């Protein structure tokens, strides 16, 4: 075990969480930051006692002491070039989802990481949520028998939905349901997806955007080679304040039982004269509460650091993330054509526009 020098590109919402988690980790000998906003860079550098800070991510990658890099930059179009440069520089890489904008880019990153013998993992933080891990355990140990069906419904508030949809033309499937597609494919492995059907619904998002084709919600049905089908729904038009950012409901039905998971964040309710009722502890990444961090993102960051420092496997492989990417690309294609889409796609369909973006 060797403490590592760690680089982090992007210190926004998620990057700030990861920076704080890394700074507190005894396996990090030094933290190095890159962020284009100089004020935010200075703020996070002070808070984490960063060893170096720059507004140029290429300058960060040029530092020879770095063992690994976390890429939390936006817009999402920056992920592929940054990850490729980091892998070419010989750094282990943690990359926020999506791993790329096209399957051929994902394949190039996977091949590069393999050739260099580098760890390359994607940010599917919900695998580090204890409730989700419990679902997988109950399936793996046979508690509910053989899975027959599964459903995940996730919604986020429209303020966050507008922010996401304004910076990148990706669908709810690619930006929200991607977590739940990864979760269910992880739980139901080794079964592989063979067919996808999807529909989108329009409403508040399109109204607010003056008629722009931004769906409120996308429903996806995935059929596996085992014969099981599951349904994932993702939306981003909840009213402000309910919940704070994210609410999720999970149902898994098996031959010997059923498992229902309430991750709707209704367990902590704040009601004030000024703001009315709020559900403050309801973000997907989690949030700091005094001396503790509530949520999966800090644990996910620690896992990557541990994997590099101790030379252990990463929980989320790039190949698994590539599979999820293929499913949500197929979902977007299905929503456009109003037809089921068979898998695998092949790279001829590697980059499909989001619904309404053709």
Which residues, including other chains, have CB under 8 Å from residue 146's CB and lie 6 or more apart? 254, 255, 256
pLDDT at 354: 44
Query: Mean per-residue pLDDT for 36-60?
Result: 98
Give the helix ranges, DSSP H, for 89-220. 103-116, 130-140, 158-167, 172-175, 177-188, 204-208
The percent of residues above 70 in pLDDT, for the chain, comes to: 96
Q: Say if residue 69's pLDDT is above 70.
A: yes
Q: Say if residue 322's pLDDT is above 80.
A: yes
Q: Say if residue 167's pLDDT is above 90.
A: no
From 143, 154, 152, select the one nearest 186 (Cα to Cα).
Answer: 152
Give CATH 3.30.360.10 domain extents, the chain.
Answer: 127-289+318-349
* Residue 247 to residue 261: CA distance in whole angstroms: 11
Backbone angles phi, psi at 103, to 5 degrees: -60, -35
Longest Cα separation, the chain: 59
Coil/strand/helix, residue 152: strand
pLDDT at 344: 96
Please give the CATH number for the structural domain made up of 127-289+318-349.
3.30.360.10
Hey, what long-range contacts does 187-191 have (CB within 8 A, 24 or more apart)?
187/135, 187/136, 187/139, 187/147, 187/150, 187/252, 188/139, 188/147, 188/150, 188/224, 188/226, 188/228, 188/230, 191/224, 191/225, 191/226, 191/228
Could you tell me the pLDDT band of residue 270, with boundaries at 50, 70 and 90?
Answer: very high
* First-last CA distance in the chain: 50
Could you tell me the pLDDT band of residue 279, with boundaries at 50, 70 and 90?
Answer: confident
pLDDT at 278: 85
* Residue 358 to residue 338: CA distance in whole angstroms: 14
Query: Mean per-residue pLDDT for 340-344?
Result: 97
101 CB-side CA count, 13 A? 14
* Residue 116 to residue 129: CA distance in whole angstroms: 31
Coil/strand/helix, residue 113: helix
Q: Say if residue 256's pLDDT is above 50.
A: yes
Q: Say if residue 302's pLDDT is above 80.
A: yes
pLDDT in tens, 282-291: 899 999 998 8
Q: Do 139 and 149 form a contact (C-beta atoms < 8 A)?
A: no
The percent of residues above 90 in pLDDT, for the chain, comes to: 84
**Fold exhibited by the domain 4-126:** Rossmann fold (3.40.50)
Give CATH 3.40.50.720 domain extents, the chain.
Answer: 4-126
pLDDT at 68: 98
Q: Do 341 and 334 form a contact (C-beta atoms < 8 A)?
A: yes
pLDDT in tens, 173-197: 999 999 999 999 999 999 999 999 9
What angle (nearest 5°) sits at the alpha carbon of residue 358, between those of residues 157 and 95?
55
Query: Of residues 278 and 342, which shows the higher confidence score?
Result: 342
pLDDT at 261: 98
Q: Do 176 and 236 form a contact (C-beta atoms < 8 A)?
A: yes
pLDDT in tens, 217-246: 999 999 999 999 999 999 999 988 777 789
* Residue 178 to residue 186: CA distance in whole angstroms: 12
Q: Say if residue 348's pLDDT is above 50.
A: no
Query: Mean per-residue pLDDT for 259-265?
Result: 95
Could you tell me the pLDDT band of residue 277, with boundaries at 50, 70 and 90?
Answer: confident
* Residue 265 to residue 269: CA distance in whole angstroms: 9
pLDDT at 352: 43
């Amino acid at each position: 075990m060797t403490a590592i020098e760690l680089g982090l590109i992007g210190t926004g919402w998620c990057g700030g969480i990861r920076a704080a988690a890394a700074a507190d980790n005894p396996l990090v000998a030094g933290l190095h930051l890159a962020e284009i906003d100089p004020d935010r860079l200075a703020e996070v550098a002070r808070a984490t006692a960063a060893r170096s800070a720059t507004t140029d991510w290429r300058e960060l990658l040029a530092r020879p002491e770095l063992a690994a890099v976390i890429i939390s930059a936006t817009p999402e179009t920056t992920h592929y070039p940054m990850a490729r440069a980091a892998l070419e520089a010989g750094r282990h890489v943690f990359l926020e989802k999506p791993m790329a904008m096209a399957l051929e880019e994902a394949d190039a990153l996977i091949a590069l990481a393999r050739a260099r013998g580098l760890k390359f993992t994607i940010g599917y933080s919900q695998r580090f949520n204890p409730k989700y891990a419990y679902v997988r355990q109950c399936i793996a140990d046979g508690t509910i028998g053989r899975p027959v069906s599964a459903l995940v419904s996730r919604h986020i508030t429209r303020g966050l939905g507008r922010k996401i949809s304004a910076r990148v033309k990706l669908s709810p499937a690619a930006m929200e349901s991607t977590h739940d597609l990864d979760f269910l494919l992880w739980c139901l492995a080794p079964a592989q997806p063979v067919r996808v059907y999807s529909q989108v619904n329009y409403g508040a998002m399109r109204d607010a955007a003056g008629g722009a084709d931004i769906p409120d919600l996308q429903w996806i049905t995935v059929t596996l080679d085992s014969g099981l089908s599951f349904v994932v729904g993702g939306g981003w038009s909840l009213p402000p304040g309910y919940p704070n950012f994210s609410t999720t409901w999970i149902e898994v039905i098996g031959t010997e039982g059923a498992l229902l998971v309430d991750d709707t964040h209704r367990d902590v309710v704040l009601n004030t004269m000024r703001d009315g009722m709020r559900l403050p502890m309801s973000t997907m990444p989690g949030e700091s509460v005094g001396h503790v961090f509530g949520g999966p993102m800090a644990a996910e960051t620690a896992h990557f650091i541990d994997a590099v420092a101790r030379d252990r496997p990463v929980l989320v492989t790039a190949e698994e993330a590539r599979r999820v990417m293929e499913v949500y690309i197929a979902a977007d294609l299905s929503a456009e054509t109003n037809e089921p889409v068979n898998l695998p796609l092949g790279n001829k369909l590697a980059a499909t526009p989001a619904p309404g973006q053709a």
